[in-house]
């Protein structure tokens, strides 16, 4: 796992990490931006993310993983595919920001793969304030599912973990910014 984490850190720095002046989804300004989708949509990045999240979640009794579309789409897919390969199949679900404007008008795709009371883990690429992850968790809880873990690739360490903790969630991250830079340099 250590070598996979180092490979992912290097790939993330190469493909997804930029320094400059950026406006974040939270409304905050930052001197760096992390666009995980570029890495998550690459073949190697997807496999590494799926593998490392499966390692992180291996001891939890969960039926699947979910997250807010669009950032979590490739993460959920990577985790479900690798879970099948490892013989511990996990289903996936995706939470819309707004209810679907046609058909059933649902907020969550993939809910039919779960039963009320199932345990799930929620995934996010980057956590800054934790707001989008909390919104996704609320929609999933509304389905009657239990959230037993919230996970991200990068914890920016800007208060999101504390906000999530106040809501009863312990954030598990593959990297903090400092860890990412240190591991990629090793």
CATH number of the domain enclosing 79: 3.40.50.2020
| CB atoms closer than 10 angstroms to residue 32 | 14
Mean pLDDT (whole number) for 60-82: 97
Structure tokens at 11: 């790939």
Q: What is the pTM of this model?
A: 0.93
Asked whether residue 49 carries a pLDDT value surpassing 90, the answer given is yes
Domain extent for 84: 2-185
Predicted confidence at residue 100, as pLDDT, reads 63
Closest-CA residue to 90 (of 75, 104, 108, 71) = 75
Average pLDDT on 150-177 reads 96
- In this prediction, residues 15-38 reach a mean pLDDT of 91
Strands in 64-68's sheet, in edge-to-edge order, are 108-109, 91-95, 64-68, 119-127, 146-155, 171-176
Choose the weakest-confidence range: 1-10, 61-70, 120-129, 159-168.
1-10
Number of domain units in the chain: 1
**Residue 110 pLDDT class (50, 70, 90 cuts):** very high
Return the half-sphere exposure (C-beta side, CA atoms, 13 A cut-off) of residue 105: 0
Residue 167 clears pLDDT 60, i.e. is over it: yes
pLDDT of 39:
98
Answer whether residue 24 shows pLDDT above 90.
no
| Percentage, residues of the chain above pLDDT 70 | 96
In this prediction, residues 56-71 reach a mean pLDDT of 96
Average pLDDT over residues 51-70: 97
Give counts: helices (H), strands (E), the chain. Answer: 7, 8
């Amino acid at each position: 796992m250590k070598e996979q984490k180092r490979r992912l850190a290097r790939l993330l720095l190469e493909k997804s990490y930029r320094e400059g002046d950026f406006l974040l989804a939270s409304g905050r300004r930052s001197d760096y931006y992390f666009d995980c989708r570029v890495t998550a949509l690459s073949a190697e990045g997807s496999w590494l993310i799926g593998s490392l999240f499966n390692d992180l979640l291996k001891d939890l009794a969960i039926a699947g993983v979910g997250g807010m579309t669009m950032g979590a789409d490739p993460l959920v897919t990577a985790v479900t595919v690798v879970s099948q390969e490892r013989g511990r199949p996990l289903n996936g679900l995706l939470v819309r920001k707004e209810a679907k404007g046609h058909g059933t008008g649902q907020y969550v795709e993939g809910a039919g793969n779960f039963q009320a009371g199932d345990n799930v883990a929620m995934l996010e690429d980057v956590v800054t304030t934790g707001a989008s992850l909390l919104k996704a968790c609320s929609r999933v809880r509304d389905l009657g599912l239990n959230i037993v873990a919230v996970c991200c690739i990068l914890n920016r360490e800007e208060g999101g973990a504390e906000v999530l903790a106040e809501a009863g969630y312990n954030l598990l991250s593959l990297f903090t910014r400092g860890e990412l830079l240190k591991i990629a340099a090793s």
